[in-house]
C-alpha cells in the first residue's frame, strides 16, 4: 500500500509540473499567427473646423495601438502620392499632385503585431477619428494557403480633398506580391484614400502560416515530454513495487553462494545416511 501511495504522489507531482508547460503551449497558440503592424495618419486644415482629428483607442488594444499628435518631432513625415503613368493631367500633361499633409494637423495611430481579428477593428477606430460622421472604413485580412489577402474600402463623401488627408500604411510579415497601393518596401504598402469619394484597396502577401509552422516543434516537444514522464513513473513504480509475501504465492528462493551450498549439501547428506558407530 505504501508503494502505491508513492506512485500516486509521483503521478500528481508530474501532472503539476506539466501545468505551466501546457499553459505555455496554450498561450503560444493564441499569439502565433498572422500579425500586422503599421500606422494611420488623419489630419485636417485648421480652417476646416474647430476640432482636430483624434483616435479613440479601446482598452483591449491599448498595449499594441497608440496615438500621437501629428505632425510632431516623434513622428515620421507623411507619405505622398507617387506619380505614375496614369497620374497626369490630360490637358496640361503635367503630373497630378495628390493629397498632402502640408499645413494640416491631426493625429497618427501606430499599431504593432496585431492579430487578424485585432486588425479588423482598426476600420471603426479610423472612421471615428474623422470629422465626417458618415465616413466608413472597412478593413479585413484573410488567409488562403500561403497567401494573405487584405481587402478594404473607404467612403469619405463629406470630406473635402483640399482640407483633409488620410494615409494608411500596413507592414506584412512577408513579401507583398500584388497591391493597388504604393509599395514602399518588400512587405510594406501605403494607401492614400481620396477624400470626397469611395476608395477600395487590396494587397496580397505570400508567406507560410506562422501558426502551422509552430505546430510540429510543439508536437514533438510534448510527445518527448510525455514519454519522459511515463518512463519516470514506470521506473518509480518498478522500484517501489511490493515484494512482501502474499497468501498463495510461492516465492522462489535465491541460490546460496557456492561455499554455503556445499555445506548445506553435506549436512543434508549426513541427515539422510544411517548413523555411524
List Cβ neighbours of 14 (8 Å cut-off, separation of 6 or more). 229, 232, 233
Bridge partner residues of 182 (DSSP): 190
Q: Which residues of the chain have pLDDT under 50?
A: 24-30, 84-86, 88-95
Q: What pLDDT sits at residue 69?
A: 95
pLDDT tens sequence across 63-102: 999 999 999 988 899 998 765 434 544 444 444 566 789 9
DSSP-derived 3-state class of residue 133 = coil
User: Can you tell me whether residue 65 is helix, strand or coil?
Assistant: strand
Strands of 156-215, DSSP E: 164-171, 176-179, 182-185, 188-191, 198-206
Q: What is the pLDDT of residue 213?
A: 57
The whole-number pLDDT of residue 85 equals: 38
**pTM, entire model:** 0.66
CB–CB of 182/189 below 8 Å? yes
Q: Sketch the domain layout of the chain as residue ranges.
A: 34-83+95-211
Helix, coil or strand: residue 121: coil
Amino acid at each position: 500500500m505504501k508503494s502505491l501511495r508513492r506512485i500516486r504522489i509521483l503521478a500528481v507531482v508530474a501532472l503539476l509540473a506539466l501545468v505551466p508547460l501546457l499553459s505555455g503551449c496554450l498561450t503560444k497558440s493564441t499569439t502565433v499567427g498572422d500579425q500586422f503592424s503599421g500606422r494611420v495618419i488623419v489630419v485636417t486644415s485648421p480652417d476646416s473646423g474647430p476640432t482636430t482629428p483624434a483616435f479613440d483607442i479601446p482598452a483591449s488594444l491599448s498595449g499594441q495601438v497608440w496615438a500621437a499628435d501629428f505632425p510632431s518631432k516623434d513622428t515620421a513625415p507623411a507619405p505622398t502620392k507617387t506619380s505614375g503613368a496614369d497620374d497626369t493631367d490630360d490637358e496640361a500633361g503635367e503630373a497630378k499632385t495628390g493629397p498632402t499633409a502640408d499645413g494640416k494637423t491631426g493625429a497618427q495611430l501606430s499599431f504593432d503585431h496585431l492579430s487578424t481579428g485585432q486588425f479588423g477593428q482598426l476600420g471603426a477606430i479610423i472612421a471615428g477619428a474623422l470629422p465626417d460622421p458618415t465616413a466608413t472604413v472597412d478593413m479585413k485580412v484573410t488567409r488562403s494557403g500561403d497567401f494573405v489577402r487584405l481587402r478594404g474600402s473607404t467612403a469619405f463623401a463629406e470630406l473635402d480633398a483640399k482640407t483633409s488627408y488620410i494615409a494608411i500604411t500596413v507592414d506584412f510579415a512577408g513579401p507583398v506580391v500584388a497591391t493597388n497601393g504604393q509599395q514602399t518596401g518588400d512587405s510594406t504598402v501605403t494607401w492614400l484614400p481620396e477624400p470626397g469619394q469611395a476608395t477600395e484597396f487590396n494587397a496580397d502577401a505570400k508567406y507560410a502560416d506562422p501558426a502551422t509552422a509552430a505546430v510540429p516543434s510543439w508536437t514533438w516537444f510534448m510527445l518527448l515530454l510525455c514519454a519522459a514522464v511515463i518512463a519516470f513513473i514506470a521506473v518509480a513504480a518498478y522500484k517501489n513495487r511490493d515484494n512482501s509475501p502474499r497468501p498463495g504465492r510461492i516465492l522462489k528462493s535465491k541460490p546460496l553462494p557456492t561455499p554455503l551450498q556445499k555445506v548445506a549439501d553435506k549436512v543434508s547428506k549426513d541427515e539422510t545416511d544411517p548413523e555411524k558407530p
